[in-house]
Chains A and B, each alone.
Chain A
Amino acid sequence: MSDLQAPTSAATPPSADPPTDAPDTAAHGQLRLVLARFVRHRMAMTSLAVFVLTVLFAFAGPLLWAWDHTVHREILPNQPPSWDHPFGTTNAGHDVLGQLMRGTQQTIKVALTVSVLATAFGAVWGAVAGYYRGWVDAVMMRTVDVLMVVPLLVAVAAIGGNVRGGTTWWVVALIIALFSWTTIARVVRGVVLSLREQEFVEAARAAGASDARIILRHLLPNAAGPVIVAATLLIATAILLEASMSFLGFGIQAPDISLGLMIDNARTAAFTRPWLFYPPGLFIVLICLTINFIGDGLRDALDPRQTMVRR
């Protein structure tokens, strides 16, 4: 709306910020509707609660719990769960609960970073390709096609295994993000291709809005629904990828710990020392499961059409 007023008042540059009252209430109404639909989704709400608890466990837990994830000489090695160590201890003298907290923390840190980085980059990439079409689109999307030819784990393991001097959590996150933005780019391009033909884009262009402004202020906000869903599901992908990398030995390295590394350390312990084997795996399953359910709930809330196969 605001861009339409720009040409009439020649003194104000077309990129001046819009008056905030009218569009804002509309946005709030939309948001409230989406929120209401999400809250009604019982599975998604339960999952959100469980996920928040997991995050608290991972980030607040280490502040409250007596042991961290490193070796302590006071810890009796190789003990089954007890009151002092509710998840038992390892051969080397780690407290498994302390390891779990740290491992979950690293895993969540990696996954969220990947999701933010890959979504930001992928969304801009896809929007630019979809907005300009023609040869720009062709070159950009062929690049995506080529990147998708390399299986994700193969790519991240090949790089992760080659990085010298140990991979910390943010290196792992960077490597995963480098290859996982392609799905987001495809989603956004698809949405932008149809959005760019609509009147509000034409209106913005007529008002003299620059391409960058149209993409950032008009197209991307309107593509938010599918992007949020894809970004949520990307968290689950990133968690499984990080775990797989660490399991193969190309991800987070000892003395730091991640859930995948814990599984690697306890590979043969399922029946002999089950307290080492089950918790990290179950935590991965739990986090991914809740993330997928949240993503499902978001999809239903943001785009009710998609799930409406006539009941």
Chain B
Amino acid sequence: MLVYTVRRLLGTIPLLLAASLLTFLLVDLSGDPLADLKVQQPPVPAEVIEAEEERLYLDRSLPERYVLWLTGIGGDGDIGLLRGEFGPSVRGPDYDIGQALADRLGTTLRLVAAALLLALGLAILTGVVSAVRQYSAIDYTLTFVGFLALAMPTFWLGALVKEAGVWANQQTGYTLFYTVGATSADTRGFTAWQLFTDHLGHLVLPTLTLMLTGYAAWSRYQRTSMLEVLNSDYVRLARAKGLPNRVVLRRHALRTALIPLTTVAAVTVAGTVDGVILIETVFQWRGLGDFFVESIKRSDAYALMGWLMLSGTAVILANLIADLLYGVLDPRIRHE
């Protein structure tokens, strides 16, 4: 197991390297960070543009830039992923991309973690209920809800939920729901408890919407895997032994039926990254999703590359954890 873990960990290195090359080419080839500056009216002096090009290392060739971005060798110390520097920003010489990413990471992680946990719990619950009561009214209802969730544009639902919150606040005259931002605008003088409830309150509506992405994929999957297990011989044996239904379902069936879910759980992380961009835009959170959209709008190439590497690493890690977890949960899988 240890050998396998180490081997898988080492295996992520070439994957990360390839991802970095893809990221770099994707961003670098798709646009010019100084395009806006060059067409500005009145025209910007040529010296200013040249100075910017030099500051952003745009005066170097493509392969040079990639090596520079990755290692920072030959740069001014503000670039080089391996040194923990993300590169200069078009927003100005004082803007630190790494700092901006770090500042926003917590906000986004809070939202993603809450949504994923909630989605997982709900998906397992409804998947099991659907399977146990196969072809009943509740199964059909839950199946339809699953299909609906799969077809729902997250951002539309988000906008609807947000406006509903605003409407409810107006109708009652109280702030029942927080609809804007990750925290209140002014949290000075808050006690720890107040700060906690404030964060929690702001989480409610965005989490409910973001949850849908994971729920849609997982609930169907959980139903199928639970059905397969329920129809297997060992469950029939457990029933034949006269075990109570509750024990059969919980101890025998559910434990096995959870294993396949670990593999799709990782795949859904990528979907949730997509979802978080849309949800943060709708609810005006100043998180990583918002940073991504802003970076595109400003053609901030190095910020975009840093962002892509961060999300890529998250997806690779999620897949790695799923693989390892699979081995732990399913004793039939042996890593020699």
Contact = CB atoms under 8 A, between A and B. Distances in A.
Interface of A: 142, 145-155, 157-159, 161-164, 236, 240, 243-244, 247-250, 260, 263, 267-271, 277, 280-281, 284-285, 287-289, 292-293, 309-311
Contact of A260 (B18, B153, B270, B304): B153
A243 B270 CA distance: 18
A151 B135 CA distance: 35
Nearest to B155: A247
B274 interface: yes
A263 B147 CA distance: 21
Contacts of A280: 156
B311 A154 contact: yes
Interface stretch (B23-31, B103-111, B321-329): B23-31
Contacts of B164: 270-271
Contacts of A159: 26, 30
Interface string B26-60: 11001100010000000000000000000000000
Interface centre among A151, A159, A163, A289 (most CB of B within 10 A): A151
A154 B271 CA distance: 10
Given A164-B31, A270-B160, A155 B26 contact: yes
B227 interface: yes
Nearest to A243: B153
Contacts of B35: 164
Nearest to B304: A158
Contact of B308 (A148, A150, A152, A249): A150
Contact of B274 (A153, A277, A281): A153
A76 to B, nearest CB: 25
A199 B148 CA distance: 43
A154 B15 contact: no
Interface in B276-299: 277-278, 281-282, 292-293, 296-297, 299
Contacts of B153: 240, 243-244, 247, 260, 263, 281, 284-285
Given A150-B22, A284-B156, A250 B296 contact: yes
B31 A146 contact: no
Interface string B219-256: 00000100110010000000000000000000000000
B265 interface: no
A263 B292 contact: no
Contacts of B31: 162-164
Contact of B30 (A152, A163, A270): A163
B150 interface: yes
Given A164-B31, A263-B153, A285-B152, A146 B159 contact: no
Contact of A309 (B148, B231, B293): B231
26 contacts: A146-B15, A147-B22, A149-B19, A149-B312, A149-B316, A150-B22, A150-B23, A150-B308, A150-B315, A153-B273, A153-B274, A154-B277, A158-B30, A158-B296, A161-B296, A162-B31, A162-B299, A240-B153, A247-B153, A247-B278, A277-B160, A281-B160, A288-B151, A289-B147, A292-B151, A311-B135
B167 interface: yes
Contacts of A281: 153, 156-157, 160
Interface of B: 15, 18-19, 22-23, 26-27, 30-31, 35, 135, 147-148, 150-157, 159-160, 163-164, 166-167, 224, 227-228, 231, 270-271, 273-274, 277-278, 281-282, 292-293, 296-297, 299, 304, 307-308, 311-312, 315-316
Contact of B159 (A153, A250, A277): A277
A158 B157 CA distance: 23
Nearest to B144: A289
Contacts of A288: 150-152
Q: Per DSSP, are chain A's interface residues mostly helix, strand or loop, or mixed?
A: helix
Nearest to B22: A146
A150 B314 CA distance: 10
B273 A151 contact: yes
B274 A244 contact: yes
A267 B22 contact: no
B19 A263 contact: no
Contacts of A269: 163
A87 B210 CA distance: 30
Given A145-B15, A243-B153, A263-B159, A248 B312 contact: no
Given A142-B18, A146-B15, A309-B228, A151 B293 contact: no
B315 to A, nearest CB: 5
A62 B204 CA distance: 42
A158 B27 contact: yes
B224 A146 contact: no
A285 B151 contact: yes
Contacts of B296: 157-158, 161-162, 250
A50 to B, nearest CB: 13
A268 B19 contact: no
A151 B299 contact: no
B155 A263 contact: yes
Contacts of A293: 147
A310 B315 contact: no
A111 to B, nearest CB: 13
A146 B231 CA distance: 37
Nearest to B228: A309
A147 B32 CA distance: 23
B167 A271 contact: yes
B127 to A, nearest CB: 13
A293 B148 CA distance: 11
